[in-house]
Amino acid sequence: LTPITVADLSSSKTEDEATLKAAADAPQKISDARQKAAALVKASLAQLQMESPQSEDALKNAKQALASFRELNAPEGEATALRAVAVASLGVDAFGALQAANQSLKTFKEIGHGKGQVAAIHSIALAHLGKDSTDDCVFRAAEGLKLSRQIGDRMKEYAILTTIVEAYLIQGDGKHALATAKEALEVARGLGEKLLEAKALCLVAKGAGLCSAAESAAGFAAGQEALKLYQSLGLKSK
Protein backbone atom coordinates (compact mmCIF):
# COMPACT_ATOMS: atom_id res chain seq x y z
CA LEU A 1 0.00 0.00 0.00
CA THR A 2 1.13 3.52 -0.72
CA PRO A 3 1.62 5.18 2.67
CA ILE A 4 0.06 8.54 3.34
CA THR A 5 2.52 10.93 4.90
CA VAL A 6 2.55 14.50 6.07
CA ALA A 7 5.27 15.14 3.50
CA ASP A 8 2.54 15.12 0.87
CA LEU A 9 1.27 18.36 2.36
CA SER A 10 4.58 19.86 3.37
CA SER A 11 6.43 20.33 0.10
CA SER A 12 7.39 23.84 -0.91
CA LYS A 13 8.45 22.65 -4.35
CA THR A 14 6.32 23.37 -7.40
CA GLU A 15 5.55 20.45 -9.73
CA ASP A 16 4.95 20.96 -13.44
CA GLU A 17 1.33 21.22 -14.60
CA ALA A 18 1.29 17.76 -16.21
CA THR A 19 2.44 16.12 -12.97
CA LEU A 20 -0.18 18.03 -10.99
CA LYS A 21 -2.95 17.02 -13.40
CA ALA A 22 -1.88 13.38 -13.20
CA ALA A 23 -2.05 13.52 -9.39
CA ALA A 24 -5.46 15.20 -9.55
CA ASP A 25 -6.83 12.48 -11.85
CA ALA A 26 -5.22 9.53 -10.04
CA PRO A 27 -8.01 8.75 -7.51
CA GLN A 28 -10.43 7.86 -10.32
CA LYS A 29 -8.24 4.88 -11.27
CA ILE A 30 -7.89 3.41 -7.76
CA SER A 31 -10.30 0.96 -6.13
CA ASP A 32 -8.51 0.09 -2.87
CA ALA A 33 -10.06 2.29 -0.16
CA ARG A 34 -6.85 3.18 1.69
CA GLN A 35 -4.86 3.88 -1.47
CA LYS A 36 -7.71 5.94 -2.88
CA ALA A 37 -7.95 8.04 0.28
CA ALA A 38 -4.20 8.70 0.13
CA ALA A 39 -4.50 9.63 -3.54
CA LEU A 40 -7.37 12.01 -2.76
CA VAL A 41 -5.15 13.90 -0.31
CA LYS A 42 -2.44 14.20 -2.95
CA ALA A 43 -5.03 15.22 -5.55
CA SER A 44 -6.28 17.96 -3.24
CA LEU A 45 -2.79 19.41 -2.88
CA ALA A 46 -2.15 19.14 -6.62
CA GLN A 47 -5.37 20.98 -7.45
CA LEU A 48 -4.34 23.87 -5.20
CA GLN A 49 -0.93 24.15 -6.91
CA MET A 50 -2.28 24.34 -10.46
CA GLU A 51 -1.93 27.52 -12.50
CA SER A 52 -5.70 27.89 -12.14
CA PRO A 53 -6.30 26.47 -8.63
CA GLN A 54 -9.36 24.23 -8.31
CA SER A 55 -10.21 25.16 -4.73
CA GLU A 56 -13.71 23.66 -4.61
CA ASP A 57 -12.58 20.31 -6.00
CA ALA A 58 -9.55 20.33 -3.69
CA LEU A 59 -11.76 20.80 -0.63
CA LYS A 60 -14.19 18.15 -1.85
CA ASN A 61 -11.37 15.62 -2.31
CA ALA A 62 -9.87 16.45 1.09
CA LYS A 63 -13.23 15.91 2.81
CA GLN A 64 -13.78 12.65 0.93
CA ALA A 65 -10.34 11.45 2.04
CA LEU A 66 -11.17 12.43 5.62
CA ALA A 67 -14.40 10.42 5.57
CA SER A 68 -12.57 7.39 4.14
CA PHE A 69 -9.75 7.46 6.67
CA ARG A 70 -12.29 7.73 9.49
CA GLU A 71 -14.11 4.65 8.16
CA LEU A 72 -10.77 2.84 7.96
CA ASN A 73 -9.93 3.91 11.53
CA ALA A 74 -6.56 5.26 10.35
CA PRO A 75 -5.56 8.11 12.73
CA GLU A 76 -2.50 9.31 10.80
CA GLY A 77 -4.47 9.37 7.56
CA GLU A 78 -7.35 11.15 9.30
CA ALA A 79 -5.03 13.80 10.75
CA THR A 80 -3.33 14.32 7.40
CA ALA A 81 -6.68 14.61 5.62
CA LEU A 82 -7.79 17.14 8.24
CA ARG A 83 -4.75 19.20 7.39
CA ALA A 84 -5.64 18.87 3.71
CA VAL A 85 -9.09 20.25 4.56
CA ALA A 86 -7.41 23.13 6.38
CA VAL A 87 -5.09 23.89 3.47
CA ALA A 88 -7.94 23.74 0.94
CA SER A 89 -10.07 26.02 3.13
CA LEU A 90 -7.45 28.77 3.35
CA GLY A 91 -8.61 31.84 1.47
CA VAL A 92 -12.18 30.53 1.43
CA ASP A 93 -13.10 29.87 5.06
CA ALA A 94 -10.37 30.90 7.50
CA PHE A 95 -12.42 29.82 10.52
CA GLY A 96 -13.09 26.41 8.95
CA ALA A 97 -9.39 26.09 8.16
CA LEU A 98 -8.51 26.90 11.77
CA GLN A 99 -10.97 24.32 13.11
CA ALA A 100 -9.66 21.57 10.82
CA ALA A 101 -6.03 22.43 11.62
CA ASN A 102 -6.70 22.31 15.37
CA GLN A 103 -8.36 18.91 15.00
CA SER A 104 -5.40 17.73 12.94
CA LEU A 105 -2.96 18.89 15.63
CA LYS A 106 -4.95 17.13 18.35
CA THR A 107 -4.81 13.82 16.48
CA PHE A 108 -1.13 14.11 15.59
CA LYS A 109 -0.36 14.79 19.26
CA GLU A 110 -2.35 11.72 20.31
CA ILE A 111 -0.32 9.46 18.03
CA GLY A 112 3.01 11.20 18.79
CA HIS A 113 3.66 12.30 15.21
CA GLY A 114 6.21 15.13 15.37
CA LYS A 115 6.23 16.13 11.71
CA GLY A 116 2.46 16.04 11.68
CA GLN A 117 2.32 18.39 14.64
CA VAL A 118 4.64 20.85 12.90
CA ALA A 119 2.52 20.74 9.75
CA ALA A 120 -0.71 21.23 11.68
CA ILE A 121 0.68 24.13 13.72
CA HIS A 122 1.81 25.78 10.49
CA SER A 123 -1.72 25.42 9.13
CA ILE A 124 -3.06 27.00 12.32
CA ALA A 125 -0.69 29.94 11.80
CA LEU A 126 -1.80 30.29 8.18
CA ALA A 127 -5.45 30.24 9.22
CA HIS A 128 -4.78 33.07 11.69
CA LEU A 129 -3.06 34.96 8.88
CA GLY A 130 -6.17 34.42 6.77
CA LYS A 131 -8.23 36.00 9.55
CA ASP A 132 -5.81 38.96 9.67
CA SER A 133 -4.83 37.88 13.20
CA THR A 134 -1.15 38.51 12.57
CA ASP A 135 -0.08 38.43 16.23
CA ASP A 136 -1.70 35.01 16.67
CA CYS A 137 -0.08 33.90 13.43
CA VAL A 138 3.40 34.85 14.61
CA PHE A 139 2.82 33.29 18.04
CA ARG A 140 1.69 29.91 16.67
CA ALA A 141 4.26 29.96 13.88
CA ALA A 142 7.02 30.48 16.45
CA GLU A 143 5.76 27.36 18.24
CA GLY A 144 5.91 25.39 15.00
CA LEU A 145 9.32 26.81 14.14
CA LYS A 146 10.77 25.62 17.44
CA LEU A 147 9.38 22.12 16.94
CA SER A 148 10.54 21.96 13.30
CA ARG A 149 14.07 22.70 14.46
CA GLN A 150 13.86 20.12 17.23
CA ILE A 151 12.96 17.36 14.78
CA GLY A 152 15.22 18.63 11.99
CA ASP A 153 12.51 19.34 9.41
CA ARG A 154 14.33 22.00 7.39
CA MET A 155 11.74 22.25 4.63
CA LYS A 156 8.99 23.00 7.10
CA GLU A 157 11.30 25.37 8.98
CA TYR A 158 11.65 27.34 5.75
CA ALA A 159 7.90 27.36 5.10
CA ILE A 160 7.11 28.58 8.61
CA LEU A 161 9.74 31.31 8.44
CA THR A 162 8.17 32.65 5.23
CA THR A 163 4.76 32.70 6.91
CA ILE A 164 6.19 34.74 9.78
CA VAL A 165 7.69 37.16 7.26
CA GLU A 166 4.30 37.61 5.60
CA ALA A 167 2.73 38.43 8.96
CA TYR A 168 5.41 41.01 9.75
CA LEU A 169 5.01 42.56 6.29
CA ILE A 170 1.28 42.96 6.88
CA GLN A 171 2.08 44.65 10.19
CA GLY A 172 4.54 46.95 8.43
CA ASP A 173 7.33 45.67 10.69
CA GLY A 174 10.23 45.83 8.26
CA LYS A 175 12.92 45.14 10.86
CA HIS A 176 11.52 41.78 11.96
CA ALA A 177 10.39 40.89 8.43
CA LEU A 178 13.91 41.44 7.11
CA ALA A 179 15.59 39.49 9.91
CA THR A 180 13.22 36.55 9.48
CA ALA A 181 13.52 36.62 5.69
CA LYS A 182 17.30 36.37 6.05
CA GLU A 183 16.81 33.29 8.23
CA ALA A 184 14.60 31.77 5.54
CA LEU A 185 17.24 32.57 2.92
CA GLU A 186 19.91 30.82 4.97
CA VAL A 187 17.74 27.71 5.28
CA ALA A 188 16.95 27.71 1.55
CA ARG A 189 20.62 27.92 0.67
CA GLY A 190 21.38 25.14 3.13
CA LEU A 191 18.80 22.98 1.39
CA GLY A 192 20.30 23.80 -2.00
CA GLU A 193 16.85 24.68 -3.32
CA LYS A 194 17.20 27.49 -5.87
CA LEU A 195 13.47 28.17 -6.17
CA LEU A 196 13.12 28.53 -2.41
CA GLU A 197 16.21 30.74 -2.38
CA ALA A 198 14.65 33.01 -5.01
CA LYS A 199 11.42 33.27 -3.02
CA ALA A 200 13.36 34.09 0.14
CA LEU A 201 15.33 36.78 -1.69
CA CYS A 202 12.03 38.37 -2.73
CA LEU A 203 10.98 38.43 0.92
CA VAL A 204 14.32 39.97 1.89
CA ALA A 205 13.67 42.68 -0.69
CA LYS A 206 10.16 43.33 0.64
CA GLY A 207 11.33 43.50 4.25
CA ALA A 208 14.25 45.77 3.38
CA GLY A 209 11.89 48.06 1.51
CA LEU A 210 10.23 48.92 4.81
CA CYS A 211 13.54 49.78 6.48
CA SER A 212 16.24 52.46 6.10
CA ALA A 213 17.59 53.71 2.78
CA ALA A 214 20.74 51.60 3.15
CA GLU A 215 18.74 48.45 3.79
CA SER A 216 16.37 49.33 0.95
CA ALA A 217 19.36 49.44 -1.39
CA ALA A 218 20.43 46.01 -0.17
CA GLY A 219 16.86 44.87 -0.69
CA PHE A 220 16.95 46.05 -4.30
CA ALA A 221 20.09 43.97 -4.81
CA ALA A 222 18.32 40.95 -3.31
CA GLY A 223 15.42 41.49 -5.69
CA GLN A 224 17.80 41.59 -8.66
CA GLU A 225 19.45 38.38 -7.46
CA ALA A 226 16.02 36.75 -7.15
CA LEU A 227 15.15 37.77 -10.71
CA LYS A 228 18.35 36.20 -12.04
CA LEU A 229 17.58 32.98 -10.17
CA TYR A 230 14.04 32.84 -11.54
CA GLN A 231 15.36 33.42 -15.05
CA SER A 232 17.95 30.67 -14.63
CA LEU A 233 15.12 28.33 -13.64
CA GLY A 234 13.03 29.39 -16.61
CA LEU A 235 10.44 31.03 -14.38
CA LYS A 236 9.00 34.48 -13.88
CA SER A 237 9.13 36.20 -10.51
CA LYS A 238 5.76 36.93 -8.89
- State the pLDDT confidence band at 235, using cuts at 50, 70 and 90: confident
CATH code, domain with 125: 1.25.40.10
Distance (Å, whole) CA 64 – CA 39: 11
Q: Is residue 62 part of a domain?
A: yes
Distance (Å, whole) CA 103 – CA 125: 14
Residues 6+ apart with CB under 8 A from 28: none
**How high is the pLDDT of residue 92?**
87
> pLDDT tens-digit profile of 201-212?
999 999 999 998
Q: Is residue 64 part of a domain?
A: yes
Distance (Å, whole) CA 124 – CA 126: 5
| Model pTM above 0.85 | yes
Mean pLDDT of 63-84: 96
What residues make up the domain containing 85? Answer: 6-131
Q: Is the pLDDT of residue 10 over 60?
A: no
Domain count, the chain: 1
**How high is the pLDDT of residue 86?**
96
> pLDDT tens-digit profile of 78-118?
999 999 999 999 988 999 999 999 999 999 999 999 999 99
Q: Is residue 49 part of a domain?
A: yes
DSSP labels for 79-131? HHHHHHHHHHHTTT-HHHHHHHHHHHHHHHHHTT-HHHHHHHHHHHHHHHHHT
